[in-house]
Structure 1
């Protein structure tokens, strides 16, 4: 894999070329850092993080689009008395 399209970095390489790693995350998207050959962490730009974690609509819209909307749910509370507990 050439440096121009690199998306996976060893910890040692990420440390040695951290500025480049940041630039790649901003310009090319998420970058994976591996430890012992296994993916360990992902570096993403702030813009990418905000895009992926932004709320998708309001709570009202979520509830209105729920597959349970209109379902015949029994939401009555039980009238049972609490049990006695010895302390």
Structure 2
């Protein structure tokens, strides 16, 4: 008699929605994105867009305050190098109005 191993449990795959189904059941797509995670929408069998909860989108997008850039520049070993741009006088053309 052969003994079979129990199936290995893995994370559930992202829900896939053909575009027509996603349009018809949009409220369900939104609810599932909020409750279960990202929902993948396909067009002609190809992955096209992902519907995610607003909180998840904000987390992925990050904060655009520039704080990370300021921290990186302050932590640089080359922070003493002046970053003042050189000003160059540009020639001005005569224009007839």
CA offsets, 1:39-78, max 9 Å, x none?
A: 222111122122223417x535521323575163452523
Gaps of 5+ in 2: 1-11
Whichever structure has more helix as a proportion of its residues is: 1
TM-score, normalised via structure 1 length: 0.66
Gaps of 5+ in 1: none
| Structure with bigger gyration radius | 2
1:18 aligns with 2:34: no
Q: What is the aligned counterpart of 2:61 among 53, 56, 59?
A: 53
Cα separation, 1, equivalents of 2:14 and 2:89: 64
TM-score, normalised via structure 2 length: 0.61
Distance 1:64-1:35 versus aligned 2 partners, 3 A rule:
same
Distance 1:37-1:68 versus aligned 2 partners, 3 A rule:
farther
CA apart distance, 1:85 = 0.5
Alignment root-mean-square deviation, CA: 2.9
More displaced stretch, 21-30 vs 5-14: 5-14
